Chains A and B, each alone.
Chain A
Amino acid sequence: KNEVEQSPQNLTAQEGEFITINCSYSVGISALHWLQQHPGGGIVSLFMLSSGKKKHGRLIATINIQEKHSSLHITASHPRDSAVYICAVDFGNEKLTFGTGTRLTIIP
């Protein structure tokens, strides 16, 4: 069964802290997406990964294909980073299977 698990479900941190959100999946994949969803619902695509590491500003995403695991890191976190972060996986059929999301709250 194609499954995607995220941890933690909820994360509260102080402004400036280094944030890590984890995603594990059950079988081989074509690609993994990290998405951001703000209150009100709009989804923004942060990264699409099939191997290695990508960086954009304060965001870093890594994936370990052998371990079937990906992490999203946020450096120097800021209250505007508060959102739900979702890991979504393409198991090879191009539709995405979504993780349950991590609700991140950054406190000033």
Chain B
Amino acid sequence: AAGVIQSPRHLIKEKRETATLKCYPIPRHDTVYWYQQGPGQDPQFLISFYEKMQSDKGSIPDRFSAQQFSDYHSELNMSSLELGDSALYFCASSLAAYPAGNYGYTFGSGTRLTVV
């Protein structure tokens, strides 16, 4: 069965550079979530999209932006990278089903970003 695909799997960038992470949700899923997991830390919610519109926002720095495209894939753009941005970035997708909540919440394998 198709899963949530994230690319790239690993990314090394220098300070002040820009990075773009991509997430391809499970087919027919309409909601995408981005999480950041720093070394030894719990994953923290960054941002989510439903039907190409931002649905919720967490602790996402202003240097980061994201969007969801017409094919439901999402991209997380990170500019002016800092050493502290080094983390594992997870994407998850689900199918929103009002009012019963979301279904099929599935995680991607993550993108490990290292800023040097």
Contact yes or no, B102 A94, CB < 8 A: yes
Contact yes or no, B105 A41, CB < 8 A: no
Asked if A48 meets B58 with Cβ closer than 8 Å, knowing A43-B110, A95-B48, the reply is no
Does A83 have its Cβ within 8 Å of any Cβ on chain B? no
Does B22 have its Cβ within 8 Å of any Cβ on chain A? no
The interface bits of chain B over 6-50 (1 if a CB of A lies within 8 angstroms of the residue's CB, else 0) are 000000000000000000000000010101010000111100100
Point out which of A43, A45, A95 has the most chain B C-beta atoms below 10 A from its C-beta: A95
A48 CA / B105 CA spacing, docked (Å): 8
Per DSSP, chain B at the interface is strand
A93 CA / B35 CA spacing, docked (Å): 15
Does A90 have its Cβ within 8 Å of any Cβ on chain B? yes
A96 CA / B46 CA spacing, docked (Å): 10
Does A42 have its Cβ within 8 Å of any Cβ on chain B? yes
Does A100 have its Cβ within 8 Å of any Cβ on chain B? yes
Nearest Cβ on chain B to A72's Cβ, whole angstroms: 16
Range class of the A interface residue count: 20 to 34
Contact yes or no, A95 B107, CB < 8 A: no
> Which residues of A are found within 8 Å of B106, using beta-carbon distances?
45
Closest to A33 in B: B105
Contact yes or no, B107 A41, CB < 8 A: no
Tell me which of B31, B42, B94, B112 contacts A98 (CB under 8 A): B42
Ordered by A's residue number, 17 sampled pairs between the chains whose C-beta atoms are within 8 Å are: A31-B101, A33-B105, A41-B109, A42-B109, A42-B110, A43-B43, A45-B107, A48-B105, A86-B42, A86-B43, A94-B48, A94-B94, A94-B101, A95-B33, A95-B56, A96-B43, A99-B42
